[in-house]
Amino acid sequence: MSWSMLKETGELLKQKNDEKILCNLVHLFSEITGSEIRINNGYGINLNNKWSQVNFMGKGIQLNIWFDKKYHYANEYYIEQRVIKICYFSVYPQGVGLGTKIIHTFLQEMNKTSFEKIILDSKESAVEFWRKMGFDFIQDSHFMSISLPYIKTNFKLTFNNKK
């Protein structure tokens, strides 16, 4: 088997593992919210493209994320890593810990993927929430980011270490 075939097979295995992890998030989010969560309006997940979009929706929650396999352009700042971008996140009711549980679960599961960084573009009113989750501003940018794997010990979560 040639090197390029081995590399392609490895990428396909990573993709299938990442898709399985995202499907598992549907069940985890349903447990947290106590309601049914849909992913991509029932159309499934395909991370085969250079970038892919995944949307989790249910009663009281919406999380829209992009997966970029090569790099992400964040306002004149290139991130040359496999990047997850949180495009939109909302929960209802707010202020009762639901958003914290959802994002901690999301971060814990994303540590199991082949992606290396999570970024987002936060509203000013939500910056403190994202900082509590461990995100910080990317230098010379209005984007916030967090590197994977990430361990947030004060929330008593244990994440898998990547090798």
Please give the pLDDT value at position 160: 36
| Tally of domains within the chain | 1
Listed residue (119, 107, 106) closest to 78, CA to CA: 119
pLDDT at 142: 66
Examine residue 32 and state whether it is found in any structural domain, yes or no. Answer: yes
**Assigned domain for 160 exists:** no
Q: In the chain, which stretches have pLDDT less than 50? A: 75, 151-163
Query: CA nearest 119: which of 152, 153, 91, 77?
Result: 77
The CATH number of the domain holding residue 105 is 3.40.630.30
pLDDT at 32: 93
Please report the pLDDT score of residue 136 as a whole number: 84
What pLDDT score does 61 carry?
Answer: 92
- State residue 145's pLDDT score: 75
The answer to whether residue 94 is domain-embedded is yes
Report the predicted TM-score, pTM, of the whole model to 2 decimal places.
0.77
- The single-letter DSSP state of residue 162 is P
Residue 135 domain flag: yes
88 inside domain: yes
41 in a structural domain: yes
Q: How many CA atoms lie within 13 A of 85 on its CB side?
A: 18
For residue 161, tell me if it sits in a domain. no
Helix axes 3-33, 98-110, angle to 10 degrees: 160
Q: Token digits for 6? A: 């081995």
How far is 132 from 24, CA to CA, in rounded Å?
25
Q: Which domain holds residue 25?
A: 3-155
Q: What is the pLDDT of residues 43-68, one digit of tens each?
A: 777 766 667 788 899 998 999 988 77
- pLDDT number for residue 103: 94
What does the pLDDT read at residue 157?
32
